Amino acid sequence: MDVNAAVAAAAAIAGLCTGVIAMLAFRWSERDQARPTRSSMRPDINAVLPPGVDTVLSVLRSSAVVLDEGDAVVKASSAAYALGLVRGGKLAVEPMLHMARDTRRDGEIRQIELDLPRRGTGRGEALAVSARVAPLGSRLVLLLVEDLTEARRIEAVRRDFVANVSHELKTPVGAISLLSEAVMDAADDPEAVSRFAGRMQIEATRLINLVQELIDLSRVQNDDPLEDAEPVRVDTLVAEAIDRCRHTATSKQITMAAGGTADLRVWGHRGQLAAALGNLVENAVNYSPARTRVGIAARRVTAPGGDLIEIAVTDQGIGIPEKDRERIFERFYRVDPARSRATGGTGLGLAIVKHVAASHGGEVSVWSSEGQGSTFTLRLPEAGAPAPAPAPDTTGAAAEATAPGPARPPLDPETVVPSPEVLP
């Protein structure tokens, strides 16, 4: 009897312990399920939101926030948290909260545009957003927020571009108009007519160049160069660029010298690449004093994603001030507007170079020192050409011209032995 009583007591204790453990596990499970998450601040979200609303909000591109009658967040999308709209289960933007309360009171749809501080930055940068509030059922309010920051930036760029184009077109057109009046007034003076006609021809040429570069810029922005891509010989591009500037260089007694590694090839659109390198060489000639040298050198460099071809164009010109180096690739930006107009520049050449390099998977960089000259380096993916052989007349100047790093000196054109076929 004593043994049976002991066994019964042990069984009763074991059953009691099992019951207690089961009850604790059940309570713990309920507590875990009731814990709020980022996407649902309440456990009964499916019961609160109207049917189908949760699915619709999950596919919207706008940031979505649903508020109840107590201004608590019932649901918020991940984008709403990323923008900093929701913090601690509450809507953190006061103007939006006031607008939601007004909509809950009278049921009217409201919209507002705001500038919000950007999270995680201390530079005062702002996000431009558009918020729209509408009633959702009888108790809830839906807030949709659209990020307009990028759209505003693009609109500002477009507005500046139109203003700059208008100004640049107005200058030669106005000059032609005045010169034509001068020609009419000087009809009896053949010498004056000839002089004014020459000026008209210069302004007309400047206008034609500006329109053509606008067309080229539009083309490189809209076209995919890889659709018509082919292996392009760097030697051919260099020869075409030098030939394009031969007349100007000869008139200023500037010697153009080519060096570096021979038989290199890049992959891309031949016409766009020729225009980009031609712009760099033309700038080097235009901004160099008389009786100086312009050097063009190419070499292969090893990169993590594959070998690159670097083409460096170096001059002994006036150089670029440090404050202007970050902006010289902007459309119509000029370091010295008076000098640019004297040389016939349009302010679009370097913008075209930048777009061509980017669309071909490359980049363009600049090193410059005031009074010493500048080196523009165009880096493009190699096209898998045969193993290159050093040019017989190269003295290592290509390596100096294309060595990476902002502290490198410009290529000394005196050390580049020019190829006979590309000299003026």
Both 217 and 321 in a single domain? no
Residue 102 resides in a domain: yes
Q: Are residues 124 and 93 in the same domain?
A: yes
**3 state DSSP class of 141:** strand
Residue 400 CB coordination number (10 Å): 21
Question: Distance (Å, rounded) from C-alpha 239 to C-alpha 241?
Answer: 5
- 280 and 416 inside one domain: yes
In angstroms, the CA 306 to CA 326 distance is 27
Single residue among 94, 120, 147 that ends a domain in this structure: 147
- Residue 203 confidence (pLDDT): 86
Whole-number Cα distances in Å, 217 to 281, 332, 335, 341? 18, 12, 20, 19
Is residue 12 one of the residues assigned to a domain?
A: no
| Same domain membership, residue 229 and residue 127 | no
Number of helical (H) and strand (E) elements in the chain, helices listed first: 13, 14
What is the Cα 14 distance to its own chain's centre?
71
Q: Are residues 239 and 370 in the same domain?
A: yes
Residue 401, pLDDT score: 36
Report the alpha-carbon distance of residue 248 to residue 288 in Å, rounded: 11
Kindly tell me the burial class for residue 182, based on how many C-beta atoms sit within 10 Å of its own C-beta (0-12, 13-18, 19 or more).
Answer: middle
Q: Distance between CA 320 and CA 118 in Å, rounded?
A: 34
Taking CA 180 as the corner, what is the angle to CA 177 and CA 183, rounded to the nearest 5 degrees? Answer: 155
**pLDDT attached to residue 294:** 94
Task: State how far the Cα of 259 lies from the Cα of 395, in Å rounded to an integer.
Answer: 8
For the chain, the maximum distance between any two Cα atoms, rounded to a whole number of angstroms, is: 146
Task: Give the tokens for residue 116.
Answer: 């919000």
- What is the full DSSP assignment across 375-387? EEEEEEEB--PSP
Q: Is residue 24 one of the residues assigned to a domain?
A: no
pLDDT of res. 400: 36
* Cα-Cα end-to-end distance for the chain: 123
Same domain, 283 and 306: yes
Q: Quick one: pLDDT at residue 310? A: 94
Rounded Cα gap, residues 197 and 204, in angstroms: 10
CATH number at residue 154: 1.10.287.130
CA 38 to CA 35: how far, in whole Å?
Answer: 10
Q: Nearest CA to 126 among 134, 135, 114, 136?
A: 114
> pLDDT under 50 in the chain at which residues?
1, 32-47, 121-123, 385-424
**The tokens of 153 are what?**
């930036």
Residues 239, 250, single domain; the answer is: yes
- Write down which residue in 164, 191, 222 finishes a domain: 222
Do 294 and 166 lie in one domain? The reply is no
Which backbone phi and psi does 366 adopt, to 5 degrees?
-140, 140
pLDDT of res. 396: 36
Domain assignment present for 25: no
* 311/407 same-domain check: yes
Distance CA 294, CA 250 (A): 12
DSSP bridge pairs for 76: 65
- Give the three-state DSSP class for 132: strand
Total domains present in the chain? 3
The CATH number that applies at residue 398 is: 3.30.565.10
Specify if 37 maps to a domain: no
Residues 388 and 261 grouped into a single domain:
yes
CA distances from 46 to 40, 51, 140, 322 (A): 9, 8, 13, 60
* Domain-ending residue, one of 203, 222, 241: 222
**pLDDT value of residue 322:** 84
Residue 394 domain boundaries = 225-422
404 and 287 housed in the same domain? yes
Tell me which residue of 217, 271, 214 sits closest to 240, measured CA to CA: 271
Dist. CA 378–CA 48, nearest whole Å: 60
Handedness of CA 237, 242, 247, 248 (dihedral sign): positive
Q: At what angle do helices 270-286 and 349-359 cross, to 10 degrees?
A: 140
Q: What is the pTM of this model?
A: 0.54
Do the domain assignments include residue 28? Answer: no
Quick check: is 357 in a domain? yes
Q: Based on the fold, state whether residues 113 and 182 are members of the same structural domain.
A: no
**Residue 182 is assigned to a structural domain of this protein:** yes
Joined together, the tokens standing for residue 44 give 């009964």
Burial of 18 (0-12, 13-18, 19+ CB in 10 A): exposed
